[in-house]
Structure formats: structure tokens, C-alpha cells
Structure 1
Amino acid sequence: MSIIKHRKKIIRQEVLSPAEEARLRGREAGHQEGYEEGYLKGRANYIVSRYAESSFPFRQMHVLYVASGKGFPYSPIDEAIATTLRGMISQVTVVEPGQPISEIAYQIMPDLVLVLDGMFIQNEQLDAIRQQGIKTAVWLTDDPYYTDMTTENVGHYDYVFTLESNCIPYYQQLGCANVHHLPFAAYVEHYKPERMRSAQRREVSFIGSAYWNRVEYLSPIMDQLMQHHTIINGIWWDRLPNFAAYQDRIEVNKWMGPQETAEAYNASKIVINLHRSHEDDSVNNNAVKIPAASPNPRTFEISACATLQLSDARSDLAKFYTPGVEIETYSSPQELLDKVEYYLNHEKERREIALNALERTMRDHTYGNRLNQMLSIIFP
């Protein structure tokens, strides 16, 4: 650089006002943030495109699928299962629990009757279906929290699939011969990375109900957590001791559908996952207090959106995601806060874990994976 040009550069630097300097710094930070987000979305879309074509075997079989009959929030799971099945087998018939299921089964003679949840189907109908030589299976939705209610039903199925690995010995003790651990998954039509920049902007999100264990866990760090542009959505959050101080950032008493939830995940740099307690008698029906070890469905849905997830540590979690590589965990409120602050200031590490989580989810944790596993067990 010539002496004249160097002097001109010094002069320009000297005459910049503080406001102009701030504007230039802001523009530079905006460019950097835009680059980082574009890089994340570009790689995420590439990962999704690699798994666009199904790699599961197509089976010539007919499944009679009995929906949960519970409406939202179970209806999106019904949609995920029925739609995924249609791409994997030759015929799917969908019915509701209130219909004469045993008569329908007798008329169409499916290879399998698959029931989601099973709370609203009469056991006599299941017995009649099995007497016709048709295989039956149930995919339980809320283990271990409602085991008092599932106890009466599980013995009427040939195959029991549960979200909770700790429920396997319990159902075996009840006489169920074929019990398998099969958690839910990510339905990639609902949960996937957005191609465009989200209109929402969040640093940290939590979406879910304010069960008492969550209120007690988060209360000691809530003041600090909410300083990081944290937004919470879900019912009962007015239980927080200092709710009035945060109510402008908490949307209370609203169930968010899959599309709205996925938009929030995509808009967030970090999403917190904090599992409910298996000992909360105010909402649970788990008299035998079966402990929960397996990850909830939200675990897979967050990861499918290429967003960094901070989850409380459950013993089964490492079977599905590698901590520190595909997910981050915490074991105390302070560790949760420390990791929020760390990853908000370490963009590259945050981004790589989020992309690794997406890759693992697309490879191993879609409904195609789960249903292929189920059908392989029933029809080996």
C-alpha cells in the first residue's frame, strides 16, 4: 500500500462517527450471520436430498390400520404412520376405533391389524380378529406414563410395541410373548429443515407442557435463561413462580401443530428438551412407577429440523444419538444454562452437531425405519 493511500485510510478511520462504526460492525455481523445460516441450510438440504428415495423393501401385504381416535395431538402420528405405510406395502385400510373393526377385518382379511394406542378399541374385537387367524399388533403411545390403562389391553395382541424400553419386562410379566421397544420417529413431511430464512427469530426455544418437574427444574435459572431471547410455548406455564416477568415471551395454553412447531424449531439456534417425570401422580397413571429411560418423540423431531438440541440425559439416549456429536445433554439446571451460553457463542460447533443430528435422523430415525423394523419382526 502506498503512503498516500495509507494516510487516506487513517483519515477515513479517524472521521468515522461512533454511529457509523456501529453501523459498519452491525453490517459485518449481519453478513457473517447470513453466511452461517446459508451454509447450514445448504448442507441440511443436501443431507435431506440424499435420503429422498426410500431404501426399504416394498411388501405385498394388506394392513388394516386402526387410528388412535384421540384427535390432536395424536392425529399427526396417525397421519405419519398411515402415509408411510402406503409407500411401503401394497394396501392400507384405515379405520377409527368406533367402527366394527372385527367385522371389517373378517370382510377384507388383512395380513395385519395394527392399532395405535388402543385405548378405544374393545378387547372382544381383538380376540375375534385373532380367532380369524389375523395377526394383531399395538403401538403404545404414552409409556410409561399410562401403564395402569394399557395393562388391561396388551394381552389381547400378538405383538406389543412400546416407546419405553423399561416397559418390556413389565409387559412380559403380564404374559405378552412378543414385546419390542419401538420409539416414535421424525415424520419428515412435517419436521425438516426450511429452505428459506424463517420469519421468526429465536435464540432458544422450549415447546411443551409445564409439568411440575419442568417448572421446578427451570425455575432456578429462568431469569438468566430468558435473557437469551428464549421463547416458550405450551400449557400451564403460568405455574412459574415469576411468570409475570416473562409472560411476554411465553405463549400459554396453546397446542402447536406440527407445522407451527417445526417453524419454531427452524427459527431457533437451540431447542431445549426436558422430559416429563414418571412419578407425577397429578397427570400420570403409572402406579407401579416404571422409570422412564427412553427419549420422547420430540427428540427425533427437533433433530430432523437441523437444530441443536439440549436434552436432559436419559440412559437410552446414546442408543439413538451420540452425545457431544449429534446431540448435547445436561444433568443439572446450571449445566443446561452453561451449555446454552456456550453454544450461542460457538456457532461452528453448534452447526456441526445440528447437521450430524439431521444426518443420523434421516438415516435411522424416520417412520420408514420404524415401520420397516416392525414389519420385519412380525413377518421375518
Structure 2
Amino acid sequence: MPNLLIVGTNRIETYERSIERAFSKLGWTVDFWDPALELARVSRGKRPGRLLTSLIRIEPWLQKANLRLIQLVDRLGPDLILVIGTTGVRAGSLAQIRVRCPKTVIYCLYPDSPHNLDLDRIQCIPFFDRIATSSPAWVPAFRKFGAIWVSYLPFAADTEYFRPVTDRTQALPAYEVGFVGNWRQERAALLAQLTDFRLAIWGGDYWHSRVERDSPVRRVWQKRQAIGEEFAAICAQIPIMLNILDVVSWPGPNMRTFELPACRAFALSERSDAVLALFREGETIECFADVAEAQDKIKFYLAHEAARQRIAQAAYEFVTTQGHTYLDRARQLIAWWQADA
């Protein structure tokens, strides 16, 4: 039975756990090493130390945490290591793992954009056998950073965590349009122009602290995030769910591109070539380019329920049966591993 070590955040709602669930279903043994948790364990000063390590890089503590990664790899002897994003991982530690475990294949699944790379993370890039980016637009950038091999591996539908629900015991008010996601300035600006519709926003506290006091967005924020079953319930009850890319994640596709159809939501997504390379506009997704087009399409699809449901069902079938689940992504990673081993 092959053994996988995932380096990343071990929380149920994360990308890492979606990968873990898929590999486990395919018969792999999966272990985790969480850089943030390990760094918290080795930091001095208890709570102040943990706070300090979240703000600045303290090399002796980071080195000690990564030593435990090296020791764990020695003990497990994994066939494949998947490093998610490289935060908290030292380039020198990866180099040592390559020396001590030459048969272990090491991949980086990078779920972010090049904008969020810092020097420490860039230094890790040459030590991976392969880097998988979540957008095709970022492949050339990683090659220039010195990656051995770069492939495009889009996000996918986690059909265990994101799935349609029919139980409406916790009924929502009669919202027309919903958005679930983090605050971004450009998102707030667009959503402020859609508040003539019955709009609801779910997301973190930045929707309160970073939005102008007189913005109409503040009154439609639901004062919490929405994950898991609540996310699926929102998708089931709100006719139109928005997917708004931001300048950092552009051109996508982002996670919401797959999570919304996995819950059988009708998704109105910001248009990009990367999104339309996968989905067919008017068939498995509907798109907009600016506020005016978003307003027009919201009005149209609120008035045409059958068209809305047809696209939502087609999108659901597309992501769940046409090669866009995390089981499909895991199979692709395994095929690469077999070729690279």
C-alpha cells in the first residue's frame, strides 16, 4: 500500500483534506505534517511565542520545526510527499530530505498565485520533482523561478464535503443573490452595486472592519463565514450564487468554480479564459464581465427558473461525472508519480 505524506493544514474544510480523502479512497495510507502546528509546538514563550511566529520568521524555531519534518520522513519513508503551498517549509530541509530519501517523490501543489510567493518560498521551488499550479496562467512564472517540471492541476469538487442538500429545516430569508467568500476591495465594490437585489454575503470579519461605514454591503453581511453543510444549504436556497475572482486569484479557476456546482447551485461567475476552458458558458456556467452584465443576468435568471435549474443540473453533472472531482485529481497525481518515480 503506497504511503503519502501531506505537508499542510489539517482542518476538515481545507484543500489538503480534500486531497487526503481522495487518496484514502484510492487505498493510500495518508499522514499529515502541519507546519503551523509544529512551529507552535517548538516556539518559546507559549502564547506570546506563538503570536510572534505568526508575524515574523524566527529561523531557529523554524529550523527546529523542520527537523521534525525530516525525522518524520525518515520514519515513514513515504512514496510521495505533497507540499501544499510551501509556507513554513525550509528549502534546506527539502534538500536534506532529497539526500536522505532519494526514492521519495516530492511535489508541490500550489493553490495560490505568484503574488503571494516570498523569497523563502521561491527558494523551495527547485527541490520539487513537480509543481502543480491551480491556474494555467501561472505555469510560465514557476518555470522562470526554476521549477524542474510545472503542470496545471485545477481545483475540483470534493463530493464528500460539498454536495447538494434538500433539508431546509433552517430556512433562510428570501434572498435572491448570495456570495460566500473573503473580503476583497474589488469584491466589495461590485457587491455594493448589487444591493438593489435581495443580497446576502457570508465571510470573515473583514466584511465589517474594512468596509466603509456607509456602504450598503455592511447591512447584508451575515456576520459569519459559511462552510460545510451551511454552505450547501445556502446554495440550495438562494437562486443565484456569485463567484467573484480578485486581482490576486485571477484568472482562476478558483475553488468556488467547482464548489458551487458540486452543491448544485446556479453559479454566476466572473468571466475568464481559464474558467471557460473548462466550463461552457450558457450550458454549465453563466458568466459576467462587469456590473452591468451581472445586473442584467441576475434579472434574467431570477425571471427564468427553468433555465437556471437546467444550468445548475448540467454543472453538477459536469463536475461530478466528467473528471473534475478530487478523486480524478488524485488519479492524475498518481499517474505523474508513477512516471516520475
Q: TM-score, normalised by structure 2?
A: 0.81
Q: Which of 216, 236, 250 in structure 1 is aligned with 2:221?
A: 250
The equivalent residue for 1:368 is 327
With over 3 angstroms needed to count, the CA separation of the structure-2 counterparts of 1:75 and 1:67, relative to structure 1, is: farther
In structure 2, distance between residues paired with 1:361 and 1:275: 19
The equivalent residue for 2:75 is 107
The within-5 A match list for 1:228-267 is 228-235=197-204, 236-238=206-208, 239-240=210-211, 243=214, 245=216, 247-252=218-223, 254-267=224-237
Q: Which of 296, 309, 313 in structure 2 is aligned with 1:355?
A: 313
Q: Which one has a bigger Cα radius of gyration?
A: 1
SS in 1 for 2:2: strand
The equivalent residue for 1:268 is 238
The equivalent residue for 1:125 is 93
With over 3 angstroms needed to count, the CA separation of the structure-2 counterparts of 1:206 and 1:75, relative to structure 1, is: closer
Q: Which of 108, 115, 120 in structure 2 is aligned with 1:145?
A: 115
In structure 1, distance between residues paired with 2:288 and 2:296: 9
Q: Which amino acid aligns with 2:252?
A: S
SS in 1 for 2:284: coil
Q: Is the 8 A contact 2:13 2:228 kept in 1?
A: no
Structure 1 residue 294: Cα displacement: 2.3
The within-5 A match list for 1:51-200 is 60-68=1-9, 76-97=14-35, 98=38, 100-131=68-99, 132-133=101-102, 134-148=104-118, 150-197=121-168, 199-200=171-172
Q: Is the 8 A contact 1:67 1:116 kept in 2?
A: yes
Residues 238-269 of structure 1: CA distance to partner in whole angstroms, max 9, x if unpaired?
Answer: 455574655442224x3333332222222211
SS in 2 for 1:316: helix
Residues 99-140 of structure 1: CA distance to partner in whole angstroms, max 9, x if unpaired?
Answer: 612222222222111111221122222112212211111111
In structure 2, distance between residues paired with 1:75 and 1:163: 18
Q: Is the 8 A contact 2:84 2:110 kept in 1?
A: yes
In structure 2, distance between residues paired with 1:345 and 1:197: 23
SS in 2 for 1:227: coil
Structure 1 residue 295: Cα displacement: 1.0
SS in 1 for 2:5: strand
Consecutive unaligned residues in structure 2, runs of 5 or more: 39-64
Residues 353-374 of structure 1: CA distance to partner in whole angstroms, max 9, x if unpaired?
Answer: 0000000110222111111111
Residues 262-301 of structure 1: CA distance to partner in whole angstroms, max 9, x if unpaired?
Answer: 22222211101111113xxxxxxxxxxxx83221101100
With over 3 angstroms needed to count, the CA separation of the structure-2 counterparts of 1:75 and 1:305, relative to structure 1, is: closer
In structure 1, distance between residues paired with 2:271 and 2:325: 22
Q: Which amino acid aligns with 1:233?
A: W
Consecutive unaligned residues in structure 1, runs of 5 or more: 1-59, 279-290
Q: Which amino acid aligns with 1:216?
A: A
* Matched pairs, number: 301
Residues 201-230 of structure 1: CA distance to partner in whole angstroms, max 9, x if unpaired?
Answer: 4321011223112233343xx2xx333321
Residues 187-208 of structure 1: CA distance to partner in whole angstroms, max 9, x if unpaired?
Answer: 1122111033362243210112
SS in 1 for 2:273: coil
Structure 1 residue 94: Cα displacement: 2.1
RMSD of the alignment, in Å?
2.2
The equivalent residue for 1:297 is 255
In structure 1, distance between residues paired with 2:113 and 2:76: 31
Q: Which amino acid aligns with 1:200?
A: L
In structure 1, distance between residues paired with 2:301 and 2:135: 30
The within-5 A match list for 1:279-290 is none
Q: TM-score, normalised by structure 1?
A: 0.73
Q: Which amino acid aligns with 1:302?
A: L
SS in 1 for 2:263: coil
